[in-house]
Amino acid sequence: MTLNVVILAAGQGSRMKSSLPKVIHPIAGLPMAQRVINTAQLLKHATTHVVIGHGAEKVKEVLVGEDLHWYMQEDQLGTGHAVQQALPGLEGKSGITLILYGDVPLIREETLSNLMSASKLNDMVLLTLDMSDPSGYGRIVRGADNSVQAIVEHKDATDEQRKIKEINTGIMAVKTELLASWLPQLSNDNVQKEYYLTDLVEMAVKEGKKVSASQPDYAWEVEGVNSRVQLASLERIYQQVKAEELLLNGATLMDPARIDLRGDVTCGKDVVIDVNVILEGNVTIEDNVHIEANCIIKDSIIRQGSYIKANSMIDESEVGNHCDIGPFARLRPGTKLAARAKIGNFVETKKAVIGEGSKVNHLSYIGDAELGSGVNIGAGTITCNYDGVNKFKTEIEDNVFIGSNTCLVAPVKVGEDGTTGAGSIITKDIAKGELAVARSRQKNISTWNRPVKND
């Protein structure tokens, strides 16, 4: 079945009080409309059409997806008018058209799949919702055969119709041929002088077409965003849902209300995550990992049994089995730690491969470097990898001992079992087993007088 997905993303969102178009404000690190695009493109055989308007160039710059088709809505004259802009991409096509909204970001694939399944048996399927208090929403009026007969707005509803709990969400699936024939017939003969998509229901019923409804499992799936208050509310809902998924998969969260998941997280069993941890991008956490408070982990892999101490940052890195990180450590992109490596407090690494059991314990910078196994890096060590223009590599082989406050001026290599004296500036290669001491000779002056403060 051919599927066209039309995503309406043209609105300004004046209540957001922002220079950014509403649909690119983020939920869990991704623009709202991007979440809708990502979900839509999970559906089989889907072609995605995006209707943009306010801040169109910025929206096109931010949103990405496979084979997106863009349509411009210069004037925002209602939902029907917005879909009309995509009509050139729908005319002459068969199958189903699914209409979604860029400011309804949490719609689930499962809900859309159910909607598509229902559309195989009907000419039009509306996504509806039962609400305990439906005040202000359009009611779904059904016939004796339970088919949808009309959508009646709250202000136009009779007292009996206002008792109806089922409301319209605006999301619908329509046979594309019918949609293409109905859209040009929409009228703006109303107080707002807008073209309403809901008028299609009346057209369908008049032509004897079958209109049915499907419902989401969760009300939050169809909640829209018109203000930062609503944005914050959906952010908390999303985080709660993701936290519950981690708990159900065997992780322990010290406080599920104080964790932020801003990407795709795979989490093993018996993982412990303390408060205020942010997991961003593609993150894999294997079994028995412990992450203390206030850590940020982005696009990284944490292998089983590793321990991440408080206030550490890990970005585009791989931490091996049973490693020990932090506190206050920063692993920058390209860092790769073998099993049982240790990165201590106030240590920064970048594009560093660190071998099994090696230790960088305190206050050091290791960048553009390759360390073998069993290496010990003393406090205050720096790999001087940058000459102001180019980067150079430092190589440290197995079982090397680097004394505290050593500067390794790359390119340089320290051979197996080599040692540097504390405070050395190493500019030449060190052969296997050698000790290198590169510092000025100490001179003690017994006749020196300590300065005194002038009156």
Q: What does the pLDDT look like over 331-365, one tens digit per residue? A: 999 999 999 999 999 999 999 999 999 999 999 99
Q: What is the pLDDT of residue 317?
A: 98
Q: Output the CA torsion 85→90→95→100 (10° steps).
A: -20
Q: What is the pLDDT of residue 43?
A: 95
Q: Quick: pLDDT tens for 54-90.
A: 999 999 999 999 999 999 999 889 999 999 999 999 9
Res. 91 pLDDT band, cuts 50 70 90: confident
Distance CA 60, CA 111 (A): 27
Catalytic residue, chosen from 69, 154, 290, 362, is: 362
Whether 3-222 and 228-436 share one fold: the answer is no
Q: What is the pLDDT of residue 126?
A: 97
Secondary structure in 3-state letters for 31-68? EHHHHHHHHHCCCCCEEEEEEECCCHHHHHHHCCCCCE
Q: What is the pLDDT of residue 366?
A: 98
> 425: which residues sit within 8 A by CB, 6+ positions away?
406, 407, 409, 438, 439
3-class DSSP assignment, residue 58: helix
Res. 93 pLDDT band, cuts 50 70 90: confident
* Chosen CATH of 228-436 out of 2.160.10.10, 3.40.50.620, 2.40.110.10, 3.40.50.920: 2.160.10.10
Residue with tokens 């949609």: 179
Q: What is the pLDDT of residue 1?
A: 72
Q: Which CATH class is domain 3-222?
A: alpha beta
pLDDT at 92 over 90: no
3-class DSSP assignment, residue 449: coil
Q: Quick: pLDDT tens for 131-159.
A: 999 998 999 999 888 899 999 888 888 99
For residues 168 and 140, the answer to whether their CB atoms sit within 8 Å is yes
Domain edges within the chain:
3-222, 228-436
Hey, how many other C-beta atoms are within 10 angstroms of the C-beta on 423? 16
Distance CA 22, CA 228 (A): 10
pLDDT at 455 over 80: no
Q: Quick: pLDDT tens for 290-332.
A: 999 999 999 999 999 999 999 999 999 999 999 999 999 999 9
Distance CA 146, CA 423 (A): 84
Q: What is the mean pLDDT of residues 101-129?
A: 96
Q: Quick: pLDDT tens for 406-417.
A: 999 999 999 999
Q: Which residue, 250, 247, 243, 303, is CA-closest to 276?
A: 243
Q: Is 362 a catalytic residue?
A: yes
DSSP 87: G
User: Radius of gyration over alpha carbons of the chain, in Å?
Assistant: 31
- Give me the half-sphere count of Cα atoms (radius 13 Å) on the Cβ side of residue 24: 19
Q: Quick: pLDDT tens for 260-292.
A: 999 999 999 999 999 999 999 999 999 999 999
Mean pLDDT over the full length of the chain: 95
Q: What is the mean pLDDT of residues 176-188?
A: 94
Least confident of 156-160, 197-201, 401-405: 156-160
Buried b (16+ CB within 10 A) or exposed e, 279-301: bbeebbbbebbbbbbbbbbbbbb
Single-letter amino acid, residue 78 = G
Res. 34 pLDDT band, cuts 50 70 90: very high
* Helices 32-40 + 109-119 axis angle, to 10: 50
